[in-house]
Amino acid sequence: MPTEQSSLARQPWQATVLTIFPEMFPGPLGVSLSGQALTAGTWRLDCLNIRDFGLGRHRQVDDTPAGGGAGMILRPDVLGPAIDVALAAAPDLPRVYLSPRGKPLTQARVRDLATGPGVLLLAGRFEGIDQRVIDGRNLEEISIGDYVLSGGELAAMVLIDACVRLLPGVLGAQDSLSEESFEHGLLEYPQYTKPREWEGRSIPDVLLSGDHKKVAEWRRREAERITKERRPDLLGK
């Protein structure tokens, strides 16, 4: 019989990835903090091989674009059943298609996803996927930046890594999260550590003053200055 406490235990955060290259996973997610959290059962990773849903003897997953043009498109009659199998195991997961055309991934969206049950991620390949899959399975398109990757797997890893480090217990000092870039709509202030002098460059005196109020004020000013210089678009948000 489970005790009351164990039945209330938190379910692992679930990442389900649909890909034609499942051997890429866990890859970098299997080392350091995310790897330790995976081993500890804080999160769980399931990869479904889209090829297993491929058609015919050659397990075909793609075909030429309707209307002509270069490259190949992942077929809806392959992706649809693959997504349905993934959803049967985890029906509550938000469904994401990694796509350069998607809404840019933000720390706010990462935080939302990290506080939910997990995420189902579809990694595209070739020239992308049939639009009917996006519409028919209600996929949210998310981009990790304004550049084009060869496939969605690395983008899926980026999104998973950003979420996993926010899960309770994954980072040692939870305080460090609230001070990070984007958490207050600002980029992070400059950081220093020992030695006090390095190659003729010193740590700013205020950081060694022991005056917490002055340190906080300096950090805030620096965060604002750097954000204004590099990402003025964040200031208006």
72 lines the binding site for ligand SAM (CB under 6 A): no
Distance CA 155, CA 14 (A): 17
Residue 205 burial (C-beta neighbours within 10 Å; 0-12, 13-18, 19+):
exposed
In the three-class reduction of DSSP (H, G, I as helix; E, B as strand; rest coil), residue 124 is classed as coil
Q: Do 45 and 161 contact (CB within 8 A), yes or no?
A: no
Distance CA 22, CA 26 (A): 9
* Cis bond before residue 195 (omega within 30° of 0): yes
168 lines the binding site for ligand SAM (CB under 6 A): no
24 lines the binding site for ligand SAM (CB under 6 A): no
Q: Tell which one of 101, 103, 228, 230 touches ligand SAM (CB under 6 A).
A: 101
Q: Tell which one of 125, 160, 162, 227 touches ligand SAM (CB under 6 A).
A: 125
Cβ 22 to ligand SAM shortest distance, Å: 15
76 lines the binding site for ligand SAM (CB under 6 A): no
147 lines the binding site for ligand SAM (CB under 6 A): yes
19 lines the binding site for ligand SAM (CB under 6 A): no
In the shown chain, the binding pattern of residues 198 to 217 toward ligand SAM, with x for contact by CB under 6 A and - for none, equals: --------------------
